[in-house]
Structure 1
Amino acid sequence: MRREPTGTYDVTVAGGEAVRAFIPAPLPPSPDVDLREGLQRPFEAAAAALGRLDAVTELLPDAAYFVYGYVRKEAVLSSQIEGTQSSLSDLMLHEAGGAPGVLQDDILETSNYVSALYHGLGRLRDDFPLSNRLMREVHAKLLASGRGATMMPGEFRRTQNWIGGSRPGNAAFVPPPPNHVEECMAALERFIHATDDDLPTPIKAGLAHVQFETIHPFLDGNGRLGRLLITLLLCDAGLPREPLLYLSLYFKQHRNTYYHLLNEMRRTGDWEAWLRFFLAGVREVAETAVATARSASEIVTANRSRIAQEGRRASSALRVHRALAERPVDQINGISERTGLSPPTVAAALRLLQELGFVSEVTGRQRGKIFVYDSYLGVLREGTEEPAG
């Protein structure tokens, strides 16, 4: 199917030089996306994988606990794409009151991502529409502290930005001038809420992600919020019901292809090539999440069976183990608060879990010790421990 470029260029002055800024045409694409153009099978495979992810979530004994870790895994991966040096272990140590050996701003940015995601999901559960207002709210959470705190959190940009290069004149891509941002984002909001385009939600999420990245409406945080938008769109439609599908690792692993397809789509209008890549990512990530959920569940179940063999010591140890499955990195006092057990009882239970090889203490301190559920955290950590360049 022959298409034209997906927008127009406007010559504007930025940084004292004239540049060609790209203004995307409103969605949906014209002519319409044709699922028969090599998209039907990728779409069906993605939809089937999403269904399996929903099914395995239903089988998890403590789905909410798994979500806790998976949300943080996504926060780390999405932040790493932007150049932060924090890991999943660092984030959880930070939340447990530890002092990871990374830059504080990196940890704050990653922690902000967790807050932003929870805020967006909470608003959707309260039937607040996925709108520009909500995106600004989520952006404000995302840039609440750290390096982005001075970059107009929660507000659309009022100056020209660019992607790649040291200045607008040698940039890889220049988004719309600031006076076009409001109208472009209003058109994106209308597309998100349109019910007459007959587009399945995964297709719509793929299109909306590209449009958001093309508009680049904020001074900072666009990449992270653009990836969050995918999750919010899918969760708003119940695909899946739990927030367990994130494409950051897929985009990180296929970074060159990702940027190439974005640029080609803008230049040639080849939405189908982008959507094939996107749907392959949805399928791959959903299948990985299913495997991770099963592995995590098997570890927890096997460990609980072993703990149950410890006679009188098993009761409190099982409660502490359950608390660590919920939050795999924590201090004695935190576990005490969540279990209702006294700190000495928690400490005794942790000693048993250490003896069994399930838990380790990572600070070496006499006070403020932090305990890690190693095998469980190891399952979640896959793909996160080498920060992206």
Structure 2
Amino acid sequence: MPRIAEYAVDLPSATLALADEASIEIARFDAETGARLAPFGAILLRSESTSSSRIENLTSGAKAIALAELGATDQRNAVEIVGNVHAMQTAVNLGGELDETLVLAMHSALMLDHEPDFAGRWRTQQVWIGGDNYGPHGASFIPPHRDHVPAAMADLMAFTRRDDIPILAHAALAHAQFETIHPFTDGNGRTGRALIHAMLRAKELTRNVTVPIAAGLLTDVEAYFSALDAYRAGDPARIVERMAEASFAALTNARELVAEITEIRQRWDTAIEVRPQATAWRIADLALRLPVFDTETVARELGITASNALRSLTPLVDAGVLTEFTGMRRNRMWQSREILAALDSFAARAGRRRLG
């Protein structure tokens, strides 16, 4: 397994220029979105987690994901996507430096609820990519032996801590090396994409929000996997270029989502009829980042009583901002159909394959 901690990164000038241009756009989006309504951090992180999961063919609607965040377990895909949300949160909230402990924590957050026996542990068996489930015969790639994983990950994390490589190119190369090591039994792709965001945040290319790069990778998954294959064959430029191209596509989609949610919130301003200091306004802001909730969630998030939360929901329902969808007298839940539709539209745009 080639080591890269001291690898002399030598990329074509055109590749570096493309990555630099993408980095400038990422920083601009992060700054302009961070200055807007507070909920966009949570909205974009959840959208990135959903897109990263879709690369692994894990799909679910925004409402099912929101319900899984509240504890529903009836839809496995949604539960796994929520695990990815937790992994992304761990990545961007890193309290220490980029090291193996962080990677294990991200993987634990991802897998704990559905694969606890493997969560946060290096693999102890051989894995392979492609082929069948019975053995590596016919596999497109066979990662290194399990005994080499700890040393390979230590080398990789030393590489991530370097400060002499342009940030986006650095993150792309680290991601490709991570996928080549394949240090876990399952969850490598999602953890590896979370590592990208840990690096962008640690190196302060992003400070406020999670740019949904996986949503850009979704537009051409075959090109993404092909770029990883090229890296393993000795061509590091293609994964850097693919990451930069994905960033441009992701930013276009993310700006559309931000604009749509901003417009929705502005419509609510004219529809809701309560005094300016009313709790209903705080619930409206909460609905932007939690588009499905119950009164207990409102009470916990806003620090109010459940009865006060219930009373404050009434003007939002009257204005059509929220809809009660359980039809029950107890354990009722409310949703913002407009926000859920905006999130599903974002996912649909990300999932459209580019025509060649």
Please report the TM-score for the alignment, with normalisation by the length of structure 1: 0.81
- Tell me which residue corresponds to 1:6: none
Letter in 2 for 1:292: L
SS in 1 for 2:4: coil
Q: Could you say if the C-alpha distance between residues 185 and 304 of structure 1 is closer, same or farther in structure 2, counting changes exceeding 3 Å?
A: same
How far 1:28 sits from its partner (Å)? 6.0
- Tell me which residue corresponds to 2:282: 319
1:377 correspondence with 2:319: no
Question: 1:82-127 CA distances to partner (integer Å, 9 max, x unpaired)?
Answer: 2334332112112335575x23xx33322222222223333x2x3x
1:275 correspondence with 2:246: no
Q: Could you say if the C-alpha distance between residues 169 and 97 of structure 1 is closer, same or farther in structure 2, counting changes exceeding 3 Å?
A: closer
Q: Could you say which structure has the larger radius of gyration?
A: 1
Alignment partners' CA distance in 2, 1:257 and 1:349: 49
Alignment partners' CA distance in 1, 2:349 and 2:141: 28
Q: Could you say if the C-alpha distance between residues 366 and 171 of structure 1 is closer, same or farther in structure 2, counting changes exceeding 3 Å?
A: same
Letter in 1 for 2:33: T
- Tell me which residue corresponds to 1:363: 326
How far 1:29 sits from its partner (Å)? 5.2
**Identity of matched residues, %:** 27
Number of aligned residues? 349
Matches within 5 A, 1:1-389: 23-26=1-4, 32-36=9-13, 38-62=14-38, 65-97=39-71, 102-103=75-76, 106-122=77-93, 124=94, 126=95, 128-146=96-114, 148-150=115-117, 152-166=118-132, 167-195=135-163, 198-267=164-233, 269-307=234-272, 310=273, 315-340=278-303, 343-384=306-347
How far 1:376 sits from its partner (Å)? 2.5
Alignment partners' CA distance in 2, 1:99 and 1:25: 41
Q: Could you say if the C-alpha distance between residues 313 and 180 of structure 1 is closer, same or farther in structure 2, counting changes exceeding 3 Å?
A: closer
How far 1:205 sits from its partner (Å)? 0.2
SS in 2 for 1:330: strand
SS in 1 for 2:329: coil
Alignment partners' CA distance in 2, 1:355 and 1:298: 19
How far 1:249 sits from its partner (Å)? 1.9
Alignment partners' CA distance in 1, 2:128 and 2:227: 18
Moved more, 184-193 or 84-93: 84-93
How far 1:177 sits from its partner (Å)? 1.3
CA-atom RMSD in angstroms: 2.6
Q: Is the 8 A contact 2:287 2:336 kept in 1?
A: yes
Q: Is the 8 A contact 1:165 1:171 kept in 2?
A: yes
Q: Is the 8 A contact 2:70 2:293 kept in 1?
A: yes
Alignment partners' CA distance in 2, 1:236 and 1:221: 22
Q: Could you say if the C-alpha distance between residues 306 and 80 of structure 1 is closer, same or farther in structure 2, counting changes exceeding 3 Å?
A: same
Letter in 2 for 1:226: G
Q: Is the 8 A contact 1:46 1:283 kept in 2?
A: yes
Question: 1:12-65 CA distances to partner (integer Å, 9 max, x unpaired)?
Answer: xxxxxxxxxxx34425655x32341x2244123202211221221232132xx2
User: Unaligned 5+ residue runs, structure 1?
Assistant: 1-22
Moved more, 165-174 or 68-77: 68-77
Q: Could you say if the C-alpha distance between residues 353 and 51 of structure 1 is closer, same or farther in structure 2, counting changes exceeding 3 Å?
A: same
Question: 1:204-248 CA distances to partner (integer Å, 9 max, x unpaired)?
Answer: 001000000001011111111011000110011122102321322
Question: 1:300-332 CA distances to partner (integer Å, 9 max, x unpaired)?
Answer: 13312432xx25598343232123234221112
Q: Is the 8 A contact 1:119 1:138 kept in 2?
A: yes
Q: Is the 8 A contact 1:24 1:215 kept in 2?
A: no
Alignment partners' CA distance in 1, 2:122 and 2:299: 44
Letter in 1 for 2:224: Y
Alignment partners' CA distance in 1, 2:102 and 2:2: 22
User: Unaligned 5+ residue runs, structure 2?
Assistant: 352-356
Q: Could you say if the C-alpha distance between residues 386 and 76 of structure 1 is closer, same or farther in structure 2, counting changes exceeding 3 Å?
A: same
Please report the TM-score for the alignment, with normalisation by the length of structure 2: 0.88
Question: 1:324-344 CA distances to partner (integer Å, 9 max, x unpaired)?
Answer: 234221112322343455545
Q: Could you say if the C-alpha distance between residues 29 and 99 of structure 1 is closer, same or farther in structure 2, counting changes exceeding 3 Å?
A: closer
Letter in 1 for 2:323: S
How far 1:258 sits from its partner (Å)? 1.1
Alignment partners' CA distance in 1, 2:266 and 2:158: 46
Q: Is the 8 A contact 2:215 2:350 kept in 1?
A: no
Q: Could you say if the C-alpha distance between residues 186 and 375 of structure 1 is closer, same or farther in structure 2, counting changes exceeding 3 Å?
A: same
- Tell me which residue corresponds to 1:10: none
How far 1:161 sits from its partner (Å)? 0.7
Alignment partners' CA distance in 2, 1:133 and 1:342: 39
Letter in 2 for 1:117: M
